Chains A and B, each alone.
Chain A
Amino acid sequence: NAGVMQNPRHLVRRRGQEARLRCSPMKGHSHVYWYRQLPEEGLKFMVYLQKENIIDESGMPKERFSAEFPKEGPSILRIQQVVRGDSAAYFCASSPPPRGEKLFFGSGTQLSVL
């Protein structure tokens, strides 16, 4: 049973470009969470999704950021018109129901904006 898979592992973008981060949860997990981590900081919650539904996006900036978890395929975190301040490690986690219990994390995507 493969763990949470995130790709790419590293992503370099120039200011103004779009970044797409992918996350495939563990088999049988229907809950996906996205977190952002800045250097020497803890993880900041961004968004919580279930299949085809955004349950809580209270931690996600209103502009330029969007997330989806379609019926088929991985969850996608999309950042449009990236700025240098978007540079961070983005982690995806999944869990089986019920929510709020143990989370299983991917290895993260390190986004660098030039």
Chain B
Amino acid sequence: SQQGEEDPQALSIQEGENATMNCSYKTSINNLQWYRQNSGRGLVHLILIRSNEREKHSGRLRVTLDTSKKSSSLLITASRAADTASYFCATEDSGGGADGLTFGKGTHLIIQP
């Protein structure tokens, strides 16, 4: 599997529920970021967590990072219809790999009103 693999591929929940998405990666990283993409649009940065951090909050978003398991999770609480989008994790490799961020294939989140 590729660096930055999200799970699940698709998730459909009711408005007001919490949504949890997971991301696994393979290499050593400097940081891990989550982005959102609405259909036909560019990506929007949501949150960045550094390799020495374990948890970070931003509004209704909560991100965790477990470097021993090479995994991260994104929790969106009290979901809204406007949260419907694809969510991607991206990693910055610390091992001298490509200079660009490495993105996963994303989780497509649908919030049912």
The interface of chain A, by Cβ under 8 A from chain B, is 4, 6, 33, 35, 40-48, 55-56, 58-59, 91, 93, 99-108
Contact = CB atoms under 8 A, between A and B. Distances in A.
B42 A48 contact: no
Interface of B: 2, 4, 30-31, 33, 35, 40-45, 48, 88, 92, 98-106
Contacts of B103: 35, 42-45
Given A42-B105, A43-B88, A100-B92, A56 B43 contact: no
B41 A48 contact: no
A103 B42 CA distance: 11
Given A6-B42, A56-B100, A101-B48, 15 more contacts: A33-B100, A42-B88, A42-B104, A43-B103, A45-B103, A55-B99, A56-B99, A93-B42, A100-B31, A100-B101, A103-B43, A105-B43, A106-B42, A107-B42, A108-B41
